[in-house]
Chains A and B, each alone.
Chain A
Amino acid sequence: MGVKKRNIDISSILLLAALAFYILAPLAVMIMHSIATEWYVLKRWWAPSKIGLDWYYFLFRDPDLFRSLWMTYVIAITVVIFTIGIFILPAYVIGTGKVKKGADFIETLGNLPQAIPIVVLGIGLLPIYGRLGLLYTFPGIVIAHSIPAAPYVFRTLVSGFIAIPPEIEEAARVLGAGKLAIVFNIYIPLLKPSILAAAVLAFSASINEYVLTAFLGVPAITTLAVRVYQTAGGYYWSPHLAGAFSIFMIIPSVTIVMAIEKITRTKVTPL
Chain B
Amino acid sequence: MKKVYIFFLLPLFAFILFTIIIPLLLIFYNTFTYYGIEKLGELFSIQSYALKSLLFTIFVATLSTLFSVIIGYGIALYMILKRKYIKIVMQLLRIPLFIPYITIGYIWRAFLNPRGHGTMIASMIASCFNLPAVKSLVGTGWAINIAHTWLYIPVVFSITYAVLLKINPEIIDAARSLGAKGLTLVTRIYIPLTWRAVLAAFVLVFMGSLRGVSIPLILGSNPDYFPVYIYRVLTDYYDKPLANALSFVFFIISATLAFIYFKLALRIRKTGV
Residues of A within 8 A of B (CB): 9, 12, 15-16, 19-20, 22-27, 29-30, 33, 41-42, 45-46, 85-87, 89-90, 92-93, 98-99, 101-102, 106, 108-128, 143-144, 146-147, 150, 154, 204, 207-208, 210-211, 214-215, 225, 228-229, 232-233, 239, 242-243, 246, 249-250, 253-254, 257, 269-271
Minimum C-beta distance from A258 to chain B (A): 10
Minimum C-beta distance from A237 to chain B (A): 8
B118–A25 CB distance below 8 A: yes
A119–B100 CB distance below 8 A: no
Chain A residues within an 8 Å CB radius of B2: 98
A25–B111 CB distance below 8 A: yes
Those 3 A-B pairs whose CB atoms lie nearest each other, nearest first: A124-B23, A115-B258, A90-B12
In B89-142, which residues have CB < 8 Å from any A CB? 89, 92-103, 105-111, 115-118, 120
CA distance A112 to B96 in the complex (A): 24
Interface bin, chain B: 35 or more
B100–A89 CB distance below 8 A: no
* B44 at interface by CB-CB < 8 Å: no
Minimum C-beta distance from B3 to chain A (A): 12
Chain A residues within an 8 Å CB radius of B108: 26
CA distance A266 to B211 in the complex (A): 30
Residues of B within 8 A of A (CB): 1-2, 5, 8-9, 11-13, 15-16, 18-20, 22-24, 26-27, 75, 78, 82, 84-85, 88-89, 92-103, 105-111, 115-118, 120, 150, 155, 158-159, 211, 213-214, 217-218, 227, 230-231, 234-235, 240, 243-244, 247, 250-251, 254-255, 258-259, 262
A106-B9, A246-B107 as given contacts; A123 in contact with B158, CB under 8 Å? no
Q: What residue of chain A has the Cβ atom nearest to residue B259's Cβ? A: A115
Chain A residues within an 8 Å CB radius of B255: 115-116
Find A271's partner among B22, B106, B158, B250 (CB 8 Å cutoff). Answer: B158
Q: Is the interface of B mostly helix, strand, loop or mixed?
A: helix
CA distance A90 to B9 in the complex (A): 5
Q: What residue of chain B has the Cβ atom nearest to residue A267's Cβ? A: B94
Minimum C-beta distance from B58 to chain A (A): 14
Minimum C-beta distance from B187 to chain A (A): 19
B230–A123 CB distance below 8 A: yes
- Show 29 residue pairs from A and B whose CB-CB distance is below 8 angstroms, ordered by the A residue: A9-B84, A12-B84, A20-B92, A23-B92, A23-B96, A33-B110, A86-B11, A86-B15, A87-B12, A93-B9, A99-B1, A102-B1, A114-B258, A115-B254, A117-B227, A117-B247, A120-B24, A123-B230, A124-B22, A124-B23, A125-B23, A143-B18, A150-B19, A229-B217, A233-B106, A239-B110, A249-B103, A269-B97, A270-B97
CA distance A12 to B23 in the complex (A): 50
